[in-house]
Amino acid sequence: MTITYRRFAVEQADGRVLRMTPVPAEPLPYWASQVAQQNFIWPSPRQEPLFATPIPFVSPPIDQREAFGSHNHQPSITWLSNGDLLAIWYSTSEETSTDLTVLASRLRSGADAWDPSSEFFKSPNHNMHGSSLFHDEKGTIYHFNGMAAYGSQGWAKLALLMRTSKDNGVTWTPPRAIDPQITGRRQVISGTLMTSDGVLIQPCDAVPGGDGGTALHLSVDKGQTWQDPGQGKPKPRFTAGETGEGTIAGIHAKVIQLKDGRLMACGRGDAIDGKMPISLSSDLGTTWTYKASPFPPIGGGQRLVLKRLREGPLLLISFTSSNRHQPESHGMTFTDQQGDEFLGHGMYAALSFDNGETWPVRKLLTPGSGEFDGGAHTGKFRATPQRAEHAGYLAATQTPDRIVHLISSRLHYRFNLAWLLEGASPPPFSPDW
């Protein structure tokens, strides 16, 4: 049975979740109100370059009785079959607090502003740390979330919860702990993946700190049973050319599948030779080999995006400097539409046409002008042709009309491949993308 709920009761004992019972939502939250259910007819992909002015997706609720903290962070986003976008994030006064809850907002098809937020997923007196939304492109929305023990501070030990929706995020199955043990390797990272042969993959931080890597949780039966191929194995050394068991280099890692079936991941921290680490696995995460990427590492208040575009190329979105307090301490060289090079700072996109071997297209993701509020860990910043948002926890989805929807900790960016390629000289189309 599925119902609309945002709060649920939890029974637990001896560090294990025993039972979770949803409490029906009354009145309906904004994200569940007046939601269209007919399938949306997506327009044909536009050929012209598109980059829209960023808009906020995090906004306070209209009802002051709704939860809304001073710190809003760690988002996830997905497109829905009815043409809407759904975004979730945690809201709190303090990241370790038991008041930390998950909020949601909906951008309805055809609207130019996101709905006011409403609480989305919360068990009272539990820290609900880490969230991910994923659309299987067949009408099922998966929601994964971490949950600390009752009254526990922080996110070192969590239960990993899952639920699904088949009506565009209005009603949900009761939450289920994919492993009832409240333990480590459970902080959910936005970036759920389904492989070409149907393996569902959920990345989770393997450690509560800034270095130590990312774990994978795998399901071959659409979420009924799960395994962690790295559980109980020693933490590997993240050294170029070496092989480690079960853990990706870098926390907050994003994972994609290459054309040859291997998994590739990029993460934060655990730098290799002073660069962002890349991890590669040919056995679904049981073992990984490590190497340095060509990109600078990222740090606190930052999270990257790595995904395969519908058109084929790989897309990486990251930041030029790991120091969010001094964003111009490290820059990257970019090329403008006239072919002139310039030093840019902040958020950028890079494209690979050869499964991550090279990244010939790099573009600064900036609106070029204007004052913006990036929210948590970013604050207010001025965009220029040489400076973009300098921090934020990134998440992205690409809708069937091939528009990339990127969110940071507060802002929603929209662009397409034609805009990324504008002024660049990429190699010709290849089925090996």
On the question of pLDDT at 86 being above 90, the answer is yes
In sequence order, the β-bridge partners of residue 162 are 144, 176
Could you give the count of Cα atoms lying within 13 Å of 93 in the half-sphere of its Cβ? 4
Please report the beta strands in 189-250, taking only residues with DSSP state E, as ranges in sequence order: 193-194, 200-205, 214-219, 243-245
> pLDDT (tens digit, 9 = 90+) per residue, 359-395?
999 999 999 999 999 999 999 999 999 999 999 999 9
Q: How many other CB atoms are there within 10 angstroms of residue 65's CB atom?
A: 6
Assign 247 a pLDDT band (cuts: 50, 70, 90).
very high
Instruction: Say how far residue 259 (Cα) sits from the centre of its chain.
Output: 22
For residue 43, is the peptide bond before it cis, meaning its omega torsion is within 30 degrees of 0? no
Residue 415 in contact with residue 421, Cβ under 8 Å? no
Whether pLDDT at 262 is above 60: yes
Who has greater pLDDT, 62 or 433? 62
Please check whether residue 250 is in contact with residue 267, taking contact to mean a CB–CB distance below 8 angstroms.
Answer: yes
- State the DSSP H helix or E strand holding residue 183, giving kind and residue range, or none if neither: strand 176-183
Band (428; pLDDT cuts 50, 70, 90): low
Which range has the worst mean pLDDT, 69-83, 253-267, 298-312, 328-342? 328-342
Which contiguous run of DSSP H or E holds residue 132?
A: strand 131-135
pLDDT in tens, 295-344: 999 999 999 999 999 999 999 999 999 999 898 889 999 998 888 999 99
Name the residue among 12, 373, 330 with its Cα closest to residue 182.
12
Strand duo 404-407 + 118-121: pairing: unpaired
Q: Where are the domains of the chain?
A: 51-188
Per-residue pLDDT tens over the stretch 99-112? 999 999 999 999 99
3.20.20.140, 2.120.10.10, 1.10.357.10, 2.40.50.140: CATH of 51-188:
2.120.10.10
Cβ-Cβ contacts under 8 Å for 303 (sequence gap 6 or more) = 74, 189, 252, 268, 392, 393, 394, 395
Residue 259, helix vs strand vs coil: coil
Q: Is the confidence at residue 431, as pLDDT, over 70?
A: no
Cis peptide before 296 (omega within 30 of 0): no
